[in-house]
A and B are shown apart, each in its own frame.
Chain A
Amino acid sequence: MWIYEKKLQYPVRIKKPDARMAKCVITQYGGPDGELAASLRYLAQRYHMPIPEAKAILNDIGTEELAHFEMVGSMVYQLIKDATIEEIKKEGFAPYFADHDRAVFPSTGTGVPFTAAYIQSKGDPVADLHDDLAAEQKARATYERLIDLADDPDVIEPLKFLRQREIVHFQRFGEALRKVQEYIDSKKYY
């Protein structure tokens, strides 16, 4: 089960409202390569993994992604909470505002709501781990695009942290894949 700790893994202290950036960052909250998709993907796949190392790493990275999901949600919240209606209208955030006010809702920047269609739990551990490697690269790439789009250091710092985490996760999933492959090979000898 999950226990919640009342702090962010890495601080988010955004002082300046920015509806334009909110509309961009939100994709890592509810979009195809975002933290919710990552978390649900890994937590779904963990049940069916054949070796303890793979179960553990999916469980624990899936849990860490929930912490990242919270960070991105906090970023969106802080970016829009003091944005004026004028700014919201100017930055193309008005349609979201119509449906959600200044609340946080899992969707892409263009308003596509989150869907489990973004994830897969194939049951084949080799396929699932390759899926996870790809997911980490896609997330890493998305954070790079967001860093390109941002000017405010208060926004860039947490984005850089989140990006580097994806690289570490990629390495761990790669190692888990090696172990799964070795396990599958070992079962061929009898």
Chain B
Amino acid sequence: MEFGYRGQYASQHASQQMNMDFYSAKGGEHELAQAYIPFQRYVTSFPPKEALRMGTMFPELVRPYHKSKV
């Protein structure tokens, strides 16, 4: 049985994988020797001028830097 890939590259566990993105419930969800960045969900956004000022429209991607004094 061939698994097509039009937007659904994952195996039949795709939707489960999406929901268990942030941790590995059974040991087998995430494989060893592989990197996993969680998928971002679009929740809210800054308005345009603030987005430009912040460097992103997505509040959850903001990582402020505090200038080092030493």
Contact = CB atoms under 8 A, between A and B. Distances in A.
Interface of A: 10, 51, 130, 133, 143-144, 147-148, 156, 160-165, 167-168, 170-171, 173-175, 177-179, 181-183, 185-187, 189-190
Interface of B: 1-5, 9-11, 14, 34-37, 39-40, 52, 54-56, 58, 61-63, 65, 67-68
Given A167-B56, A175-B37, A186 B11 contact: yes
Given A144-B68, A164-B56, A178-B39, 12 more contacts: A133-B37, A143-B65, A160-B55, A161-B55, A163-B55, A167-B63, A171-B40, A186-B3, A186-B10, A187-B3, A189-B1, A189-B2
Contact of B62 (A164, A175, A177, A186): A164
A103 B32 CA distance: 50
Given A164-B63, A171-B40, A174-B37, A189 B55 contact: no
Contacts of B52: 10, 161
Contact of A186 (B9, B54, B68): B9
Contacts of B11: 182, 185-186, 189
A7 to B, nearest CB: 12
Contact of A163 (B4, B40, B61, B65): B65
Contacts of B55: 160-165, 167-168
A59 to B, nearest CB: 18
13 contacts: A10-B52, A167-B63, A171-B61, A174-B37, A175-B39, A179-B9, A182-B5, A182-B10, A183-B9, A186-B5, A186-B9, A186-B10, A189-B3
